[in-house]
């Protein structure tokens, strides 16, 4: 648990470190915070003759954006989900229920219109997989590459609804379980989400 907290703190700290300086240099531009609900879908993949999948579960995503100009900015997000990673071994499936934390930093390009603001984003970060049900399984961190897009729909001047799609490429976890070692593979997580945000 201490290792997981240390990893998440390091990822968040590294992603947030440059933002105060940027805010001081550009005080005239707006910042945004948001909270969203998401439903991650992990692609079923077969490698080394073994299929790997993940159960569906709800997710929440919190984000902070700072814009350098009218169109360009940076985003830091934190997300949490809980699911079961399953590997279809010859001797029977092995499922590991885990807590999954994600921390990402991304470049954001937006195009503000009167009632909505379309945007696209790309970045990188880390996913922390913390096993809950298998004895001897270890917490693992995986590097992830993020892309996505969506739109903010204005409700009032400062309040908006955000709908977006995020895609993440990463190596699947094996939790250092003997029967799973060497079975990790490059996979994809799709995260459609919707929520609310506030500009200030």
Task: Report the pLDDT value the prediction gives residue 136, as an integer from 0 to 100.
Answer: 87
Q: Are 178 and 22 in contact (CB under 8 A)?
A: no
User: What are residue 155's phi and psi, to 5 degrees?
Assistant: -100, -50
Residues 140 and 167 sit within 8 Å (Cβ to Cβ): no
> Which pLDDT tens digits describe the chain residue by residue (200 residues)?
655 565 555 555 554 554 444 444 434 458 999 999 999 999 999 998 999 999 988 899 999 999 999 999 999 999 999 999 999 999 899 999 999 999 999 999 999 998 999 999 999 999 999 998 888 899 999 999 999 999 999 999 899 999 999 999 999 999 999 999 999 999 999 999 999 999 98
**Buried/exposed code over 2-19 (b: 16+ C-beta within 10 A; e: otherwise):** eeeeebbeebbeebeeeb
What is residue 23's predicted lDDT score, i.e. its pLDDT?
A: 42
Q: pLDDT value at position 12? A: 54
Question: Phi, psi at residue 11, to the nearest 5°?
Answer: -65, -45
List the one residue out of 128, 102, 105, 144 whose CA is nearest residue 14.
105
Residues 103, 116: Cα–Cα separation, whole Å: 26
Residue 168 structure tokens = 């993440």
Q: Quick one: pLDDT at residue 119?
A: 98
pLDDT at 193: 97
- In the chain, the N- to C-terminal Cα span, in Å, equals 35
What is the maximal distance between C-alpha atoms in the chain? Answer: 61
Identify the CATH assignment for 2-199 out of 3.40.50.620, 3.40.50.300, 3.30.565.10, 2.40.160.20: 2.40.160.20
Q: Please list the alpha-helical segments (H only) found in the chain.
A: 2-16, 19-25
Annotate 142-173 with b (16+ C-beta within 10 A) or e (fewer): bebebebebbbebeeeeebbbebebbbebebb
Distance CA 15, CA 100 (A): 18
What is the pLDDT, as a whole number, of residue 133? 83
pLDDT at res. 27: 41
Q: Residue 80, CB half-sphere, CA atoms under 13 Å: how many? A: 6
How would you classify the pairing of strands 72-89 and 41-42?
unpaired
């Amino acid at each position: 648990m201490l290792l997981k907290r240390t990893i998440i703190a390091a990822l968040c700290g590294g992603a947030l470190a440059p933002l105060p300086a940027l805010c001081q240099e550009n005080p005239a531009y707006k910042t945004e915070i948001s909270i969203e609900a998401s439903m991650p879908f992990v692609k079923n993949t077969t490698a080394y003759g073994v299929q790997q999948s993940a159960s569906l579960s709800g997710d929440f995503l919190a984000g902070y954006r700072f814009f350098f100009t009218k169109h360009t900015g940076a985003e830091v997000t934190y997300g949490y989900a809980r699911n079961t990673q399953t590997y279809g071994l010859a001797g029977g499936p092995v499922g590991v229920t885990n807590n999954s934390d994600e921390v990402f930093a991304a470049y954001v390009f937006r195009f503000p219109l009167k009632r909505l603001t379309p945007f696209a984003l790309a970045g990188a970060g880390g996913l922390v997989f913390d096993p809950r049900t298998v004895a001897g399984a270890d917490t693992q961190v995986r590097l992830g590459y993020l892309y996505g897009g969506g739109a903010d729909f204005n409700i009032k001047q400062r309040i908006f609804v955000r709908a977006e799609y995020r895609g993440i490429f990463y190596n699947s976890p094996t939790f250092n379980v003997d029967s799973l070692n060497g079975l990790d593979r490059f996979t994809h997580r799709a995260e459609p989400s919707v929520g609310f945000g506030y500009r200030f």
